[in-house]
Amino acid sequence: MIRPEDIRFCVAPMMDWTDRHCRYFHRLLARKARLYTEMLTTGAVKHGDRARLMGFNDFEQPVAFQLGGSDPKELALATKIVESQGYIEVNLNVGCPSDRVQNGAFGACLMMRPKLVADCVKAMKDATFLPITVKCRIGVDDQDPEIALFELAENCIAAGVDALFIHARKAWLKGLSPKENRDIPPLDYRIVHKLKKTFPNTPIAINGGLETIQQFKEQLQHVDGVMVGRAAYHNPSLLMEIDAELFNAPRSISDDFEAIDALSPYIKQELLKGERLSNITRHLLGLFAGQAGARLYRQRLTLDATKPNANIDTLFAAVHEVREATQRLQLAHAHKLAETKS
């Protein structure tokens, strides 16, 4: 079972972004958030290197695993494997529009096959005690969302789905890249609010284009949760506010410098295991945004962290650029103030 409050704030699944290092970092910033893995296909779960593809640190919990697939039997098997790895929810991807996914006949094109999605959900439910959830669009191509979204939801609910995550825009299966499909089809939050009114007993979270605490709070008047992707990734300071602003809980990290300090023991540990610094620091490029020295910080981290001898001091040196620039700025202000006074 998922309680509505479990999905109050979620960081969206993002391929190549929400890997285990990213999630560890996000967990440090937002203790109450629910985190999602990148999507993995049933085939990769079954045949792939599980330690590499599915391993995670317990500190990341609660973490939900996103599966891509459309064969109920394969999904049931993959669900069992996901459960055995210790994840706390299995989410089925009914929203990804990439060609690769369309060729495998899953992702967003499943919006056109609500009965099959229901069969998938049922098979997954029968395979586990974990909650099974679905992340979908409001429709694809020329579908009418008033029909497509409600039909999909109705079928999923009848099959026992535990929660729905709705990316509040259509996917256009032909002619748009996955990136364009995250921006060009217009957002329609209203229809997601209507869905929640129609199915009040099903936990529903809204996704797409949400960037500020104010927007999250507005959405939470209508739905149980918000799922945030790009804004959470690019703007880590947003995540630092979530516990206090949405959960009335203490803030764990007060600023970007503290975030680096808190993460550095983990980085050292991972480096000792042979991980490359850049595989972790690539998720930290959004820190210090807008602050003096931020550009140099990003430059140093992008260039130096990929060098063979990169270590934790490489990160500290990049952060030092921000400290120095901030000090220079403070000094310049102090001089100016002294000048205007004299």
Ligand X SMILES: Cc1cc2nc3c(=O)[nH]c(=O)nc-3n(C[C@H](O)[C@H](O)[C@H](O)COP(=O)(O)O)c2cc1C
Contact indicator for 115, 148 with CB cutoff of 8 Å: no
Closest separation in Å from C-beta 295 to ligand X: 23
Size of the site for ligand X (CB under 6 A): 23
Contact indicator for 68, 41 with CB cutoff of 8 Å: yes
Alpha helix positions (H), the chain: 20-29, 42-47, 50-54, 72-84, 99-103, 114-127, 145-158, 189-198, 213-219, 230-234, 236-247, 256-272, 277-281, 294-304, 312-341
DSSP codes, 6-28: GGSEEEPP-TTTSSHHHHHHHHH
**Contact status: 98 vs ligand X (CB under 6 A):** no
Catalytic residue among 96, 120, 136, 156: 96
- The owner of tokens 């586990």 is 128
Residue 37 is encoded by which pair of tokens? 């893995």
Of 182, 282, 298, 300, which lies in the binding site for ligand X, with binding defined by CB under 6 A?
182
96 is catalytic: yes
Q: Which is nearer to ligand X, 13 or 225 (CB)?
A: 13
Of 27, 71, 78, 95, which lies in the binding site for ligand X, with binding defined by CB under 6 A?
95
Identify residues 256-285 at the interface with ligand X (CB under 6 A). Answer: none
**Contact status: 135 vs ligand X (CB under 6 A):** yes
Identify residues 201-230 at the interface with ligand X (CB under 6 A). Answer: 207-210, 228-230
**Contact status: 136 vs ligand X (CB under 6 A):** no
**Contact status: 89 vs ligand X (CB under 6 A):** no
Helix (H, G, I), strand (E, B) or coil at 130: coil
Q: Which span sits near ligand X by CB under 6 A: 13-21, 237-245, 308-316, 318-326?
A: 13-21
Residue type present at position 223: V
Per DSSP, what are the bridge partners of residue 36?
A: 64
**Contact status: 44 vs ligand X (CB under 6 A):** no
**Of 289, 287, 282, residue with least CA distance to 305:** 282
Q: Which is nearer to ligand X, 216 or 288 (CB)?
A: 216
What is the chain's Cα-based Rg? 22
**Contact status: 38 vs ligand X (CB under 6 A):** yes
Of 41, 66, 133, 202, which lies in the binding site for ligand X, with binding defined by CB under 6 A?
66
- Please identify every residue annotated as catalytic: 96
Binding site for ligand X (CB under 6 A): 12-17, 38-39, 66, 93, 95-96, 135, 167, 182, 207-210, 228-231
